[in-house]
A and B are shown apart, each in its own frame.
Chain A
Amino acid sequence: MRVMAQLAMVMNLDKCIGCHTCSVTCKQAWTNRTGTEYAWFNNVETRPGQGYPRRYEDQERWKGGWERTAKGRLRLRAGGRLTKLGKLFANPELPEISDYYEPWTYDYATLIEAPLGDDVPTAAPRSAITGEPTQPTWGPNWDDDLGGSTEHGVKDPIAEKLRDELGIQIKFEFEQSFMFYLPRICEHCLNPSCVASCPSGAMYKREEDGIVLVDQDQCRGWRMCVTGCPYKKVYFNHKTGKAEKCTFCYPRVEAGQPTVCAETCVGRLRYIGVLLYDADKVTEAASVADEHDLYPAQLDLLLDPHDPAVIRAAEAAGIPHDWLTAARRSPVYQLIHDYRLALPLHPEYRTMPMVWYIPPLSPVVDAVSESGHDGEHRDNLFGAIDALRIPIEYLAELFTAGDTEPVRRSLRRLAAMRSYMRAVNLGQETDEDIPASVGLTGEQIFAMHRLLALAKYDERY
């Protein structure tokens, strides 16, 4: 057992309002400079939608992450080291600027400087890269709030997959509308394919907290990391010629402050905490045959911070006392492990991502309510989960490689909490069957409620 500590994040999508404050505060703090105009270390996607960069989840096209060979070994989907050497100068799996978007600006100065003419001055758009007149035709958030859905939404790789492989047709029609938001940062994976892709050895995962970084001195700009990352969260700075990525705000984290994106999240949905894991088992966990087993395998990697054996091994590995204390109090561990609410993003990429998500509830479809049933009432509660507007299969494709059971459990627990707490709210007697039906106790529901609803600053981070 090789105990290592990892800083991880959980985002509760059920609380996300899609405001993009995280994106902007991150952008302002880190990437509002030449060379990184198009780079959003943190971005937020409306789903269904194509994401940023466009259709990054289509690994048939972009070859990100790992794949399992017939012999049960892992290899980079984009090819191993030898393949990579051959592609050093012409990497076909690299998104182009148009896949992100061509950053633009405007002739703002004309508003002040325009000489007397025949009409109102206006600031026309120009490319931020070439300076030439341009027209915005795609952006980092072009399909926000289902904008352009009938043209763009159908190209959502998950929607395609549901249609082609499961025969589930997502209807882009008014009456069937649904959406939710997916904020994304670097996953700071336990098994990072970007690091493995780097021919220069410029990428590394910090031992003390698991943050994945690009060494700005070592980077030679080969951009293999861009291809290697299935989440497309490594960016190429076209001015410095080096790769850049989300740093988990290490200058802040080291000073005891949460990341910018987390602290500025006005939905109060981000949690940061310490996880302990067994580094020796990462390869094995990432290599399980059945993709549905990847989420359980990833869970199994996590070590129980209360287990005396784990504590001893961690102390032996040099993990400081306060980190072990933090691991025991970790809100992230509770949400991932104790309540089984949070799920990893695309475990099938086999990178063992360390940003986890609580899936969103959504309005029940009219079919349930129109039959005169209250979707919130406990008798209808669990029936309602499968009648939510967001198809459960869609969420499963995001978080559990298609296995709907863990998603269903998570949503049921959220719904059970609401139903149970309603009685408390109205001063009525609680129904203990409700927590029991989702494998929890009333006390656990209260504790979960405290963490999810009250979500005090000191308990989020």
Chain B
Amino acid sequence: MRSPRKATNKGSENHHNEGPATAALLRLGRYLTRAESSADLHSVHLTGGREGDAFYRDRWSHDKVVPSTHGVNCTGSCRWNVYVSDGIITWESQDPDYPSVGPDKPEYEPRGCPRGASFSWYSYSPTRVRFPYARGVLVEMYREALKQHGDPVTAWASVMDDPMKRLSYQRARGKGGLVRVSWDEASEIAAAAHVHTISRYGPDRVAGFSPIPAMSMVSHAIGSRFMALIGAPMLSFYDWYADLPVASPQVFGDQTDVPESADWWDAAYLMMWGSNVPVTRTPDAHWMAEARYRGQKVVVVSPDYADNTKFADEWLAPHPGTDAALAMAMGHVILTEFFAERQVPYFTDYVRRFTDLPFLVTLTERDGAFVPSKFLTAADLGDTGAAEPQWKTVLVDDRTGEPVVPNGSVGFRWNEHDQGHWNLDLGDVVPRLSLLDDPGHEGVEVLLPRFDADGVLRRGVPAVERGGQLVTTVFDLLMAQYGVRRGELPGRWPSGYDDPAEPCTPAWQQEITSVPAERVTRIAREFAETAEASRGRCMILMGAGTNHWFHSDTIYRSFLALLTMTGCQGRNGGGWAHYVGQEKVRPLTGHQTLAGAMDWVRPARQMIGTAYWYLHTGQWRYDALRNDELASPLAPGSLAGTSAADTLAQSARLGWMPSFPTFDRNPLDLVDEADEAGIDPARHVIAQLREGKLGFAAEDPDAPENWPRVLTVWRSNLLGSSAKGHEYFLRHLLGTDANLRGEEAPPDSRPKSVKWRDTAPVGKLDLMLAIDYRMTSTTLFADLVLPAATWYEKHDLSSTDMHPFVHSFNAAVDPPWQTRTDFEAFHTIAKRFSELAERHLGVRKDLVATPMTHDTPGETAQPGGVVRDWRDGDVEPIPGVTMPRLTVVERDYPAVAARLATLGPLLEKLGATSKGLTYDVGEEVNWLRAKNGVATTGAGRGQALIDTDIKAADAVLALSGTTNGRLATQGFRDLEKRVGTELAHLSAEHEGKKITFADTRSRPAAVITSPEWSGSESRGRRYSAFVINVEHRKPWHTLTGRQHFFLDHDWMHELGEALPIYRPPLGSHHLSGGQGDAAEVTVRYLTPHSKWSIHSTYQDNLHMLTLSRGGQGIWMSPSDAEAIGAKDNDWIEAVNRNGVVVARAIVSHRMPAGTVFLYHAQDRAVNVPRSEATGKRGGTHNSLTRLLLKPTHLIGGYAQLSFGFNYLGPTGNQRDEVTVIRRRSQEVRY
């Protein structure tokens, strides 16, 4: 609606008949002004006088509006309009122009949140990094050395070789003293440090950390590409952030694949479980609010009265971390009422086709009963004719009672013989769910672990003998695990829902969670009834509240079980909806290709971030937790007496997980040695390992030759945001002051296979380089700080899980002051690096050790999920089978800058690969040559240019199926051959569509259905994961090809997690609620995602600080506050073994007693005083946390339990922590 602007404006001035005197005044007034009054003297109508309006018109005027977005790992990927006036960014507001999702649904517009709305504050704020900075102490020594030596690399080496010099600048880290330097000098220092480290210690002693490609793909890819070209590992982030739901690879064989938020609309029943949608998915929350209006029921499970509780029909508040108990009880009700007492055809048909429930599992005798062991395979049946029989699982055909080997298991995936049979086609076979239906079954007792109490469960399953072994089905085991009694099976069973003693009844969970049993029963029933009525349109929207725990994989598996047993996966409106981290790079193949420099050299070094930090920040030295404490009461004992560092070393040794630095020697030198000796480098390595002359770095991480030396952090505030064990980073990695209070593990709790050096190294890193536009803990502690362009000053691409579009960042203004885009910054460094490499490195050969990887034939390296260690003599060390794959690659160091800027020849030779499919991209490479131009000189001569951010963006888009219909269709045609069913029609409608950067700039571009993902957007459909699997019988990328309830790897049994189970959070026994001294209280310490920041971004933004409490705040319950005598806004200190936090108390009755929140991620750069406990500056939210590794996350080489970058790896969980809180002196000092 447009307001008419009249040529002559009228105004009105309201008055009222307030009293006789006023009325007289007003009546008089009528004759004094040339205005028209109303009869009741209510108003006076005036004309004109609106010149004062000009003020706001001027304020509103602007010169241009440019679309862009924010690159901040919030999953928003929102489209914003940036307003520019006089060359200055003035403000931003959302661009509501999105492609429609259909006439019968709400729309995506307007995506955004208050944090994004405040972004332009940074552009000209006093915390903006405008120039390059360097640590003054270091730069002075470097300049002096350069004067002396004349060569940057030699100069750098001379400073590093002087222990006193090294100590002096490391001790100065984080204490101010940054000085301005030029870009030339900064890039020279950075380049010299890289060259020196590669030459002296090896390229795997350099590392790059930059998370979440989807939030700005080109900026990520450019640095990652640089690292890949020089041979430096990139560190994973998704597992490190504990955002990776390990249950997803375990159950689905997929990193994370979830519905877009518009699909919430399709759900008939929505549980928000540990995901505070209005706060953490702000732009998407409206879908939930709106779906209620079409009758969606909303259940919130949250330990506090979270923001989303406002929208709930029901609120369940279990004690923090006990969610799995609640879910197991829901499973108990569903399995009882919908599988045992009554069968629902939709459910039984679904679980037969799409889950491992009908598959046979062997039973092994133990203590007069049995324990579940391994999947029965074709090999067990003596079926030697088939290819890869050890990788083909077995079920019973209900019609004949005979075992059959159905299509679809991983044994059908990689061999030529089974081409066309990797599918879920059952033919006439009807999988038998329960062996109760076998007239020859016997009821046998199985022993099952429990962790809620001592002892084990004894429950019966029906079993028969097949292939010479006693077997039962996964379904029968599941019924036993959930305590659902059937027939005359032996064992001890719950007497009913009201039996509190036997897992997993509603009454049992009430004792654990405090949620009333009858509510759980009713909600479970409603959930399944709705799934039955709607054919699988029940959704669990789950998040960090349940995913950041040590045992989150078991929590998630208990949720996934509910969805899978009720047929909700692969349905629009149904399934798991995990949103933690913006992990979905929709143009996946193109990004992976550029980021890994796969066009020039393969493979890239990719490292599991958590393990890297665990070892190199010395946290392993403080970890007294033995794997025995985690083990199942039924554990066979293969992890007995070990600690996390031992399992890490073993996992590296066996080729399960990557490990960088890999060996205790420079991998460039290893090849030279082999060449000199005239033997194959891999054989040289094996020989040296056998002789004990070569060791794995992970087995002696504190040896100086095994330290990481150079770390570059961009697009990230590592130290102030994600660094679990922040204080350990400061002390051991950086070598500066820390508030660390913990003690090292006592001798009897130390690792067995990892060398313990009596003195822990302090200050491992030679150089920390940070690229950022604002000052954070990372820049404050860095040695070099390069000034970055913001998201309104560069070109890039953005995508997310939450919506199906790819859209762009655009420069509203050029980078101001001396700022540069990440793209330009890395080109600057690479140029100087290449120059220095001419003299110091030249062309070298590098030995790259990589693990067996998921979605490659390597995932079938170690059959049976049995641990066989070559070091123990179990097997021979065979690269790529029983130990890491070893590849020799050429490193042309002087060519790095040229290669960075051009698309290399390997693409045309080898194609581009993702998720096991290889795309022929010859046409695309030629198109890029035509569009981007060709390099005419140097090492990239004749290759397509990707020397600008826009050209690189176009390469990402052209090389991906989601943005290039030709590739999507080609990929589906290839997949059709493997699967044997029709798929190409899914993308055929878009075969000619090619999304370019220019397209993403004019409007968010809807992506194309592609084999890169499992959902379908065909004909405007909303994206939901696994739709292709369910509707087109394409297997999941798992052992059985189905969704897994059962995981039979040795280590899964070791930890008692073969089936979904409840495990209590760690550390609960420390909770006291008041320890001795009445002035302190011991509470569970949680760091949920904040309303006023996205991780640490925006938490320093003045607008957000103004709308919140202006600094770090710890939310606590009135009773906990009362216990320490604290009032709202009082200064308090949180102290534990890991560090100290000084914050304000925020006292609220929405908090449960015994738990406090310090919202993630509160850096110490704003308003943090010195602490009473140590006299030093208070810490970040992660000063109270420390890493703990779960051994099962380190499994590899076994189907879906194989490494993939950010697909599988140990998580950096941080919820299982407690802290003491005290009220402190209210006088604070900064």
Give CA–CA (A131, B282) in the complex, Å.
35
A266 lies within 8 A of B38 (CB): no
Chain B residues closer than 8 Å to A130, beta-carbon distance: none
B518 lies within 8 A of A120 (CB): no
B133 lies within 8 A of A66 (CB): no
Q: Does A363 contact B (CB under 8 A)?
A: yes
Q: Does A7 contact B (CB under 8 A)?
A: yes
The A-contacting residues of B in range 82-135, CB under 8 angstroms, are 90-94, 96, 104-107, 109-114, 116-118, 120-121, 125-127, 129, 133
Give A268 Cβ to nearest chain B Cβ, in Å: 5
Instruction: Say whether, besides A207-B12, A264-B117, A267-B286, A7 and B3 are in contact (CB < 8 Å).
Output: yes
Residue of A215, A218, A323, A326 ringed by the most chain B CB atoms within 10 A: A215
Give CA–CA (A153, B1161) in the complex, Å.
27
Q: Does B39 contact A (CB under 8 A)?
A: yes
Q: Which residue of A lies closest to B300 (CB)?
A: A363
Q: Which residue of B lies closest to A147 (CB)?
A: B1146
Give CA–CA (A151, B1176) in the complex, Å.
31
Give B700 Cβ to nearest chain A Cβ, in Å: 32
Give CA–CA (A73, B23) in the complex, Å.
12
Q: Does B1170 contact A (CB under 8 A)?
A: yes
The B-contacting residues of A in range 103-144, CB under 8 angstroms, are 103-106, 108-109, 111-112, 114-125, 136-137, 139-142, 144
Q: Does B53 contact A (CB under 8 A)?
A: yes
Query: Which of A87-95, A366-374, A392-400, A401-409 lies on the face that meets chain B?
Result: A366-374
Chain B residues closer than 8 Å to A195, beta-carbon distance: 13-14
A375 lies within 8 A of B313 (CB): yes
B127 lies within 8 A of A111 (CB): yes
A218 lies within 8 A of B49 (CB): yes
B314 lies within 8 A of A29 (CB): no
How many pairs of A and B residues are in contact by the CB < 8 Å rule? 437
Q: Does A322 contact B (CB under 8 A)?
A: yes
> What 1/0 mask marks residues of chain B from 541 to 560 whose CB sits below 8 Å from any chain A CB?
00000000000000000000
Q: Does B874 contact A (CB under 8 A)?
A: no
Q: Does B164 contact A (CB under 8 A)?
A: no
Give A273 Cβ to nearest chain B Cβ, in Å: 7
B113 lies within 8 A of A121 (CB): no
Q: Does B399 contact A (CB under 8 A)?
A: no
Give CA–CA (A148, B17) in the complex, Å.
43
A30 lies within 8 A of B56 (CB): yes
Query: Which of B302-310, B1059-1067, B1075-1083 lies on the face that meets chain A?
Result: B302-310
Residue of B22, B282, B315, B1148 ringed by the most chain A CB atoms within 10 A: B1148
B1177 lies within 8 A of A119 (CB): yes
Q: Which residue of B lies closest to A265 (CB)?
A: B110
B1110 lies within 8 A of A21 (CB): no
Partner among A122, A147, A274, A370 whose Cβ is within 8 Å of the Cβ of B1148: A147
Chain A residues closer than 8 Å to B56, beta-carbon distance: 30, 247, 250-251
Give CA–CA (A179, B133) in the complex, Å.
47
Q: Does A288 contact B (CB under 8 A)?
A: no
Q: Does A418 contact B (CB under 8 A)?
A: yes
B1148 lies within 8 A of A121 (CB): no
Chain B residues closer than 8 Å to A105, beta-carbon distance: 1102
B1166 lies within 8 A of A122 (CB): yes
B295 lies within 8 A of A424 (CB): yes
Give CA–CA (A214, B13) in the complex, Å.
11
> What 1/0 mask marks residues of chain A from 420 to 458 whose CB sits below 8 Å from any chain B CB?
111111111000000000000000000001001111110
Chain B residues closer than 8 Å to A112, beta-carbon distance: 126-127, 129, 133, 178, 775
Q: Which residue of A lies closest to B266 (CB)?
A: A425
Give CA–CA (A150, B1120) in the complex, Å.
13
Chain A residues closer than 8 Å to B1153, beta-carbon distance: 174
Instruction: Say whether, besides A28-B92, A457-B109, A7 and B1152 are in contact (CB < 8 Å).
Output: no
The A-contacting residues of B in range 212-252, CB under 8 angstroms, are none
A123 lies within 8 A of B11 (CB): no
B10 lies within 8 A of A207 (CB): yes
> What 1/0 mask marks residues of chain A from 305 to 329 whose CB sits below 8 Å from any chain B CB?
0000000000000001011001000
Instruction: Say whether, besides A370-B518, A372-B522, A256 and B1 are in contact (CB < 8 Å).
Output: yes
Give CA–CA (A119, B1148) in the complex, Å.
33
Query: Which of B168-176, B487-495, B630-638, B922-930 lies on the face that meets chain A?
Result: B168-176
Partner among A111, A192, A250 whose Cβ is within 8 Å of the Cβ of B1165: A111
Give CA–CA (A380, B480) in the complex, Å.
37
For chain B, which range describes its interface: under 10, 10 to 19, 20 to 34, or 35 or more residues? 35 or more
Q: Does A76 contact B (CB under 8 A)?
A: yes
Chain A residues closer than 8 Å to B1118, beta-carbon distance: 150, 172
Partner among B3, B17, B314 whose Cβ is within 8 Å of the Cβ of A208: B3
Give B348 Cβ to nearest chain A Cβ, in Å: 21
Partner among B3, B118, B285 whose Cβ is within 8 Å of the Cβ of A266: B285
A426 lies within 8 A of B52 (CB): no
Chain B residues closer than 8 Å to A30, beta-carbon distance: 56, 59
> What 1/0 mask marks residues of chain A from 144 to 158 whose CB sits below 8 Å from any chain B CB?
111111111000000
> What 1/0 mask marks residues of chain B from 364 to 404 whose CB sits below 8 Å from any chain A CB?
00000000000000000000000000000000000000000
The B-contacting residues of A in range 4-51, CB under 8 angstroms, are 7, 14-15, 17-21, 23-25, 27-30, 32
Query: Which of B40-48, B329-337, B418-426, B456-464 lies on the face that meets chain A?
Result: B40-48
Give A227 Cβ to nearest chain B Cβ, in Å: 15
B1103 lies within 8 A of A27 (CB): yes
Partner among A121, A151, A218, A427 whose Cβ is within 8 Å of the Cβ of B52: A218
B45 lies within 8 A of A207 (CB): yes
Partner among B18, B175, B309, B1115 whose Cβ is within 8 Å of the Cβ of A119: B175
Chain B residues closer than 8 Å to A24, beta-carbon distance: 114, 117-118, 1103, 1107
Q: Which residue of B lies closest to A4 (CB)?
A: B12
> What 1/0 mask marks residues of chain B from 1 to 45 whose CB sits below 8 Å from any chain A CB?
111111001111111111101100100000000000011101101
Instruction: Say whether, besides A19-B278, A145-B1148, A124 and B1230 are in contact (CB < 8 Å).
Output: yes
Give A401 Cβ to nearest chain B Cβ, in Å: 19
Query: Which of A53-61, A161-169, A276-284, A289-297 lies on the face that meets chain B?
Result: A276-284
B1109 lies within 8 A of A142 (CB): yes
Q: Does B1095 contact A (CB under 8 A)?
A: no
Chain A residues closer than 8 Å to B1230, beta-carbon distance: 122, 124
> What 1/0 mask marks residues of chain B from 252 to 294 whose CB sits below 8 Å from any chain A CB?
0000000000000000100000000111001101100111111
Give CA–CA (A449, B105) in the complex, Å.
11
> What 1/0 mask marks residues of chain B from 512 to 531 whose CB sits below 8 Å from any chain A CB?
00001011001000100010
Give B200 Cβ to nearest chain A Cβ, in Å: 28
Chain B residues closer than 8 Å to A214, beta-carbon distance: 52
Give CA–CA (A203, B44) in the complex, Å.
12
Give A324 Cβ to nearest chain B Cβ, in Å: 11
B1146 lies within 8 A of A148 (CB): yes
Chain A residues closer than 8 Å to B315, beta-carbon distance: 363
Q: Which residue of A lies closest to B315 (CB)?
A: A363
A360 lies within 8 A of B11 (CB): no
5 further A-B contacts with Cβ under 8 Å, apart from A173-B1149, A280-B38, are: A2-B38, A18-B307, A147-B1147, A363-B314, A428-B533
30 inter-chain pairs at a CB distance below 8 angstroms, sorted by A residue, are: A17-B282, A17-B307, A18-B278, A24-B114, A24-B1107, A25-B93, A28-B120, A82-B22, A111-B775, A119-B175, A119-B1176, A120-B174, A120-B1164, A123-B1167, A150-B1147, A152-B1128, A201-B13, A215-B52, A251-B57, A251-B61, A253-B1, A364-B314, A375-B313, A420-B295, A421-B295, A422-B268, A422-B295, A423-B295, A455-B290, A457-B109
Nearest 7 CB-CB pairs, A to B? A422-B295, A116-B177, A114-B176, A136-B1110, A17-B278, A204-B11, A28-B91
Chain B residues packing against A (C-beta within 8 Å)? 1-6, 9-19, 21-22, 25, 38-40, 42-43, 45-46, 49-53, 55-57, 59-61, 90-94, 96, 104-107, 109-114, 116-118, 120-121, 125-127, 129, 133, 136-137, 172, 174-178, 268, 277-279, 282-283, 285-286, 289-297, 300, 305, 307, 309-310, 312-315, 317, 516, 518-519, 522, 526, 530, 533-534, 737, 775, 777, 780, 1091, 1100, 1102-1103, 1105-1111, 1113, 1115, 1117-1118, 1127-1129, 1146-1153, 1164-1170, 1176-1177, 1230
